[in-house]
């Protein structure tokens, strides 16, 4: 049995607490929100984010960060990506040397273009950082619907250890050394999912969705491999797998926000209606900046930025994507 602290009591942190409790580990979950912790302790249910899912009494919910972080075998950092740096900064004073931290959020910091594992390592230099990602909506994981994810770590032994801790008959874990590729796939797919939602909101069909998914993974793979990720990662669970589920499911907050934008709402109106952090909005500018930094054309990413921040209409963005210069999918020289 492992002693595990989960920092972040949102839908994903709570769902992972259930997985780990099912595996007979000791679990403490932290939130900075007093009202959230009171609700979880009183109702034993996350009424807002995972309604109907009962939380066992064995899981401890607290606002005490020291209690959550001190002397743990593993810490799971599950706050939304915009709060990763500030939360890691708070954790720095209470974690032990060589603390194993598993980052499970998805995003790229706009100001620095750093991935979340990079941010954690900056704020907590004494830590060992791994990542867990994949096509895994919390709503389904919490209901024990079969799900597969990937753990990324520099050391094979650490990846295997985390695999053993998390894996069960409903939650299958693969391992990989490609931390960067895993994080890029998980972050960039949120931006493409916004575009897929916009297309849905405009009333377009399956043809359009398929085009966005396939051309979206092409953009992600071009950038990811240019930055040093492995091409196999982008054809795997944290690449095309995560992109498919995020573009197709109504559990996806990014797709839901995109639908509302396609229907004519502003970015802020869409985020307010979704009532959860829409990670793709926070990663969109960073994705565009990375495409320019590494000189990788990413037309879908470019157009979603123009919709979100440039006042461009969704219909005009789709038209401009369709009217781009003729090109090959596979050139004769490559063939």
Active site residues: 189
CA dist 8 and 36 (Å) reads 11
Q: Are strands 74-77 and 100-103 parallel, antiparallel or unpaired?
A: parallel
CA dist 212 and 205 (Å) reads 11
Q: Are 23 and 168 in contact (CB under 8 A)?
A: yes
Q: Are 281 and 168 in contact (CB under 8 A)?
A: no
CA dist 44 and 179 (Å) reads 34
Tokens of 46: 């996350």
| 105 Cβ contact partners less than 8 Å away, ≥ 6 residues apart | 8, 12, 77, 78, 79, 80, 81, 84, 116, 279
Tokens of 22: 């099912």
Angle between helix 279-293 and helix 179-201 axes, rounded to 10 deg: 120
Give the single-character DSSP code of 26: E
List alpha helices for 127-278, DSSP H. Answer: 138-141, 156-166, 179-201, 206-227, 231-234, 242-248, 253-262, 267-274
Q: Are 104 and 77 in contact (CB under 8 A)?
A: yes
DSSP string computed for 172-189: EEEEES-HHHHHHHHHHH
CB-CB neighbours of 57 under 10 Å = 9
């Amino acid at each position: 049995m492992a002693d595990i602290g989960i920092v972040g009591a949102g839908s994903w942190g709570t769902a992972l607490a259930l997985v780990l409790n099912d595996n007979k580990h000791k679990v403490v979950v932290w939130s900075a929100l007093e009202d959230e912790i009171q609700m979880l302790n009183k109702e034993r249910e996350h009424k807002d984010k995972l309604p109907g899912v009962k939380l066992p009494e064995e899981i401890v919910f607290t606002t005490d960060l020291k209690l959550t972080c001190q002397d743990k075998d593993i810490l799971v950092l599950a706050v939304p990506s915009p709060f990763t740096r500030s939360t890691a900064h708070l954790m720095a004073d209470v974690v032990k040397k060589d603390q194993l931290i598993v980052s499970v959020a998805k995003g790229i910091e706009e100001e620095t273009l750093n991935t979340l594992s990079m941010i954690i390592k900056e704020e907590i230099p004494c830590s060992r950082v791994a990542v867990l990602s994949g096509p895994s909506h919390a709503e389904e994981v919490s209901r024990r619907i079969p799900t597969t994810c990937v753990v990324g770590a520099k050391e094979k032994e650490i990846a295997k250890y985390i695999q053993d801790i998390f894996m069960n008959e409903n939650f299958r874990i693969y391992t990989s050394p490609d931390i960067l590729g895993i994080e890029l796939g998980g972050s960039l797919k949120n931006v493409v999912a916004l575009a897929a939602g916009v297309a849905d909101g405009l009333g377009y069909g399956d043809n359009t969705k398929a085009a966005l998914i396939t051309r979206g993974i092409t953009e992600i793979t071009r950038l990811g491999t240019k930055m040093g990720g492995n091409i196999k990662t982008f054809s795997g669970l944290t690449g095309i797998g995560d992109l498919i589920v995020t573009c197709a499911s109504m559990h996806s907050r990014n797709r839901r926000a995109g639908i509302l934008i396609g229907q004519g709402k502003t970015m802020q109106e869409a985020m307010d209606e979704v009532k959860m952090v829409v990670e793709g909005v926070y990663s969109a500018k960073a994705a565009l900046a990375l495409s320019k930094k590494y000189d990788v054309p990413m037309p879908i990413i470019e157009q979603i930025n123009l919709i979100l921040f440039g006042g461009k209409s969704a219909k005009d963005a789709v038209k401009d994507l369709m009217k781009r210069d003729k090109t090959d999918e596979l050139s004769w020289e490559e063939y």
